[in-house]
Amino acid sequence: MAKKVLIVDDTISILDMLKDSLTSEGYEVETVNNSTKGLEMIKTDAYDIVLLDIQMPEMTGLEIISSLKDTSIIHTTKIVLMTASEIPSEDLTNLMKVGVAAWIRKPINLEILSGRLKTL
């Protein structure tokens, strides 16, 4: 059975690129370019992996994680943060403690992403 992936990012071109790449690798992929809708989808559907952009209008990826931290979702879904910025090691440690499985830098190298997802 294919792993089910949700990609939450406000940039359509990134959503399209990641969906094409991950679909070709056998993942079942859904995308959303609205963080509020993304949170709703995470809460109402079961995903194996969520790729989550940190910087989005309306609600940041970190705010989404904060709203999930007291739910079982944070323990059953692998969350991978996507960011163009460096994440300070202390912040990364804290994120891992609340359930973030991994992070990847933008622009995203598809080979690195593929390898990272295979380890989850």
Flag whether 81 is in a domain: yes
Flag whether 60 is in a domain: yes
Flag whether 120 is in a domain: no
Confidence at residue 95, expressed as pLDDT on a 0 to 100 scale: 85
Flag whether 71 is in a domain: yes
For the chain, the domain total comes to: 1
Flag whether 88 is in a domain: yes
Residue 90 pLDDT class (50, 70, 90 cuts): confident
Flag whether 118 is in a domain: no
Q: Give pLDDT tens digits for 68-89.
A: 988 999 989 999 999 998 887 8
| Partners of 52 in beta bridges | 8, 81
> Which is more confident, 105 or 1?
105
pTM across the whole model? 0.94
Measure the CA angle with vertex 3, ends 83 and 113; round to 5°.
30
What are the structure tokens assigned to 60, written together? 């940041």
Amino acid at 4: K
Residue 74 · residue 92 · CB < 8 Å: no
Confidence at residue 7, expressed as pLDDT on a 0 to 100 scale: 99
Flag whether 47 is in a domain: yes
Flag whether 119 is in a domain: no
Distance between CA 7 and CA 47 in Å, rounded? 10
CATH number at residue 21: 3.40.50.2300
DSSP string, 57-68: SSS-HHHHHHHH
Confidence at residue 45, expressed as pLDDT on a 0 to 100 scale: 97
In terms of residue numbers, what domain contains 76?
4-113
40 three-class SS: helix
